[in-house]
Amino acid sequence: MAIEIEKSIVGLSKVANSDTHGEDSPYFAGWKAYDEDPFDEVHNPSGVIQMGLAENQVSFDLVEEYLEKHSEAVDCGSGISSFRENALFQDYHGLFSFRKAMANFMEKIRGGRAKFDPDRVVITAGATAANELLTFILADPGDALLVPTPYYPGFDRDLRWRTGVKIIPIHCDSSNNFQVTPQALESAYEEAKSNKIKVRGILITNPSNPLGATIQRSNLEEILDFAVQKNIHLVSDEIYSGSAFYSSEFVSIAEVLESRKYMDSERVHIVYSLSKDLGLPGFRVGTIYSYNDNVVTTARRMSSFTLISSQTQQLLASMLSDEEFTRNYIKTNRDRLRKRYEKIIDGLRGSGVECLKGNAGLFCWMNLSHLLEKSTRECELELWNSILGEVKLNISPGSSCHCSEPGWFRVCFANMSEQTLEVALTRLHNFMQKRTKKVINSSFFSFLL
């Protein structure tokens, strides 16, 4: 019998001791640099500009206007009985009025091309919780989800940390604009198989983070066909659906299912949230929409761990049922995001930098691979470090998004004022000029030699 060594410190779990939360990666290191020296137009004009945080502040004035005009919606309920109900309401089904309003809002975003049933809406405190919850439900510890690269760095934590589930990347590259191909899907699946890992599902983000582009319909069909063929689940994180610049360019998996008369729909689950489209990340509002009754029931019961405050539900139920507000908001938000996108693309192009052609989201996928001495992750991180240190811009390196091609960066543009964006573009422009000069000089000298 082994003699136990007496520990003086009481131990914690493996989950507690693991670093799967990923907060030591460059993605988060840049945030720390920003926290220590944040840019402010007036008080700190040479500080770090945060371009690594996908927040949507371009349309907040519309929400503010609504809240001011409808202050009774913010109240927990004017009459005693409605307040009582609200304060006591901890039903994991969520307020029906709120679920109905969410379903309506999701329909509007899709231009009415898909229908959503309020009884299939499960509430969670944010999309982070929704993705984790779905992972708990669809996969056991040791199983895997296939996720196309590049992907949102937070997935490493949200899908894996507490759940014990693995992520197997579906490698995509710039040769076809980072689209998922059936070969890449098959290859990822085989990789899992050869390691004796059971694949339980595919998780796609549409529109994609960090690419800032919608997935084409034909591609969605291929991915769904693959899921059917392998008998696995398909989770579509559509958190940026309201941030597509043109409504018609976004095709939801819900539309694909509708056109197939919901055949094979029981393997499909959609995640949504108001953090990006409505710019309300502090509200902590997420949903799982599942076409699978068992998943809906289970998710509901497990949502006790991550409910939305009844007060917030009530407030949003009013706001999202307001036809005029939602119609106007969705349209205005799309227009403003598109204009921002065009501004940053033009600015970058003027500095000799190209981006992937995007049509959605709060960021662009910038290509700086030509600045790398060698096409390696180390060189990419070196470049990232100089941009952070010299240019004082916090952008996200592609390696933290598991991009297989070094040199790509995600640059957020919606979490700042237009003026700040201009400052950022100017700084980048100067940096690019210096770099180009350096390249020209060194190639001149090497020519001389």
Partner 1 sequence: MTNSPTKTTISSGGATSAMRVIVPLQGVVQGRGGLFLGSVIPCALFYFWQLYLKRNRNRSRPSNNNNDESGSSGSTHLPQVSSGSGLQRVHSRILLSPKGSSGQSQVSVRANSVISKQIDSSPCFVGLNKASQDPYDEFSNPDGVIQLGLDENKLSLDLVQEWLAENVSRWMMAEDLSISGIATYQPFDGLLELKVAVAGFMSQAVDNSVSFSPAQMVLTGGAIPALEILSFCLADPGNAFLVPSPYYPDLDRDVKWRTGVEIIPVPCRSADNFSLSIDALDRAFSQAKKRGLKVRGVIISNPWNPVGNMFSRETLYNLLDFATEKNIHVISNEILAGSSYGGEEFVSIAEIIDSEDFDRNRVHIVYGLSKDLSLPGFRVGAIYTCNENVLAVAKKLTRFSSISVPTQHLLIQMLSDAKFVQQFIKKNRERLRRMYSLFVSGLKQLGIECTKSSGGFYCWADMSRLIRSYNEKGEIELWDNLLNVAKINATPGSSCHCVEPGWFRLCFTTLSEKDISTVMRRIQKVLETRKSLS
Catalytically active residues are 152, 237, 239, 276
What angle in degrees, to the nearest 10, is found between the helix axes of 323-350 and 60-69? Answer: 160
CA distance 259 to 252: 11
Tokens 């309506």 belong to which residue? 104
Tokens 């899921």 belong to which residue? 227
Positive or negative torsion for Cα 213, 217, 222, 228:
positive
Taking the complex as a whole, the smallest distance from the CB of residue 429 to partner 1 amounts, in Å, to 27
**Cβ proximity to partner 1, 416 vs 423, nearer residue:** 416
β-pairing, 199-205 vs 393-394, is unpaired
Tokens representing 138? 């669809």
**Cβ proximity to partner 1, 59 vs 181, nearer residue:** 59
Q: Are 30 and 383 in contact (CB under 8 A)?
A: no
Residue 235's nearest CA partner among 151, 306, 301, 309 is: 151
Residue 13 CB neighbour total at 10 angstroms? 7
**Cβ proximity to partner 1, 16 vs 448, nearer residue:** 16
CA distance 288 to 273: 9
β-pairing, 286-290 vs 49-50, is unpaired
Peptide bond into 38 cis (omega under 30): no
DSSP-derived letter for residue 248 is: G
CA distance 272 to 106: 8
| Helix, coil or strand: residue 144 | strand
Tokens representing 134? 């779905």
**Cβ proximity to partner 1, 2 vs 80, nearer residue:** 80
Residue 207 CB neighbour total at 10 angstroms? 26
CA distance 75 to 197: 51
CA distance 160 to 144: 9
Q: DSSP characters for 241-278?
A: GGGBSSGGG---HHHHHHHTTTTTGGGEEEEEESTTTS
In what helix (H) or strand (E) does residue 161 lie, and over which residues does it extend? none
- Alpha-carbon separation of residue 53 from 62, 153, 282 (angstroms): 21, 12, 14
**Cβ proximity to partner 1, 303 vs 367, nearer residue:** 303
Q: Are 390 and 431 in contact (CB under 8 A)?
A: yes
**Cβ proximity to partner 1, 158 vs 380, nearer residue:** 158
Tokens 């065009």 belong to which residue? 342
Residue type, 224: L
**Cβ proximity to partner 1, 65 vs 346, nearer residue:** 65
Taking the complex as a whole, the smallest distance from the CB of residue 370 to partner 1 amounts, in Å, to 33
Taking the complex as a whole, the smallest distance from the CB of residue 94 to partner 1 amounts, in Å, to 10
**Cβ proximity to partner 1, 261 vs 448, nearer residue:** 261
**Cβ proximity to partner 1, 260 vs 357, nearer residue:** 260
| Helix, coil or strand: residue 116 | coil
